[in-house]
Structure 1
């Protein structure tokens, strides 16, 4: 028995593979969580399950596609801002350290 669904216990289908040894949790949202010993086993498990679940995918409406694209753009901008801010923070910390060092050096002179 490879697949098990107990909605009272877990909201997804538990699918167990023997080779490679992997456990997949498949949810109605389309999300799949794979647990395996290594990345190669995860990849093999995904390659095994994808053709089985692909036919059950939900086609996205144009509105859903637009919303998804909007979210992706927003996340991309947020990630860019985070990286940009971390560089700014590092630069300002470096400037503060230099000012403190200069003040300490002038106190000794």
Structure 2
């Protein structure tokens, strides 16, 4: 039985977006028996400051598609990422925006939180 759970972390290069997803993916695979995880990433050619996103998919069943189609959890660190990615969240998802860099969070059918992520 599939219990797929999708996470997306999005922002700009240099914010630790990819590292965060790698840690989430490895932790689940190592410390939760019977849970599979895959991590994927996409980023622009810039070393710092370009668009960046990373996704983790968890499932007890075999994972046949490694990308997040409708994330259950999103952590979004920039306004550009908010505009580009937040609208494909799953119904009832949790979306966490950085409260400094996301100045106009989109209206969503999700539990939305604004937190000082980059400041801390």
Task: Normalising by structure 1, report the TM-score.
Answer: 0.26
Structure with more of its chain in helix, by fraction:
1
* Structure with the greater alpha carbon radius of gyration: 1
The TM-score normalised by the length of structure 2 is: 0.24
| More contact order relative to length (CA 8 Å, sep ≥ 6) | 2
